[in-house]
Amino acid sequence: MIDQINNNQQTTTYDKGYKWLHWLMAALVILMFMATFGFAQANTDAAKIEMLTGHSSIGSVIFLLFVIRFCKRFIFKSPRPKHELAPLTNVGAKVGHLTLYSLLFYVPVTGYLSARAHELPVYWFGQLNLATLTGYQQSSFEMIRSFHQLGVQTLMVVVVLHIAAAVFHGLVKRDGVFSSMWPDRKTKSE
């Protein structure tokens, strides 16, 4: 609330809401990357169904957090820090963040479509079966899943670059970019 009062003031760090959303989503997305091994190791239908249940449920939580984050950032335009960066670095950061936002939308949506087309039941939170497209076709499932996989692989690359950039700012540049998203720092309004 105090953050809202300070809407027009310059802030040096992301507020608590941004930080919670950022770190919760970061942890969940990295956990979801492990599905690469999880699905590869699931040898029986029962193991695959269990994997699909957990994966689709956590994926939906990520999507819900994405919607909240998107509204906070782009619709309500909650204030964010403005860093003093070289013009090229600034463009790079903007492009990188927009790419991350786009992939955080694209990956869960293509995941959902893969679940819809799946041969096995995908019990969302152990309840609702998402795999309800009638007439399972191996080729269409594989095509949709390959879109999901491509999105995941692109997200992995962008996240690695993002982390490298964040660490570079934190250890080499020491320009306040890293600490602006770091949980321990108190926001200006506190």
Tokens 């679940």 map to which residue?
115
Binding mask 65-84 for ligand HEM (x = CB under 6 A): --------x------xx-x-
Question: 48-74 burial string, b = 16+ CB within 10 Å, else e?
Answer: bbebbbbbbebbbebbebbeebeebee
Residue 133 touching ligand HEM (CB under 6 A)? no
Residue 39 touching ligand HEM (CB under 6 A)? yes
Residue 49 touching ligand HEM (CB under 6 A)? no
Q: Using alpha carbons, select from 173, 184, 52 the residue that is nearest to residue 114.
A: 52
Amino acid letter for position 156:
M
Residue 29 touching ligand HEM (CB under 6 A)? yes
Q: Is 128 left (phi over 0), alpha (psi -120 to 50) or beta?
A: beta
Residue 19 touching ligand HEM (CB under 6 A)? no
DSSP 129: E
> Could you say which residues in the range 97-126 bind ligand HEM, by CB under 6 A?
97, 100-101, 107-108, 111-112, 114-115, 118
3-class DSSP string for 78-128 = CCCCCCCCCHHHHHHHHHHHHHHHHHHHHHHHHHHHHHHCCCCCCEECCCE
Part in contact with ligand HEM (CB under 6 A); list of ranges 2-10, 132-140, 176-184: 176-184
Residues that bind ligand HEM (CB under 6 A): 22, 25-26, 29-30, 32-33, 35-36, 39, 52, 55-56, 59-60, 62-63, 73, 80-81, 83, 93, 97, 100-101, 107-108, 111-112, 114-115, 118, 130, 145, 148-149, 152, 159, 162-163, 166-167, 177-178, 180-181
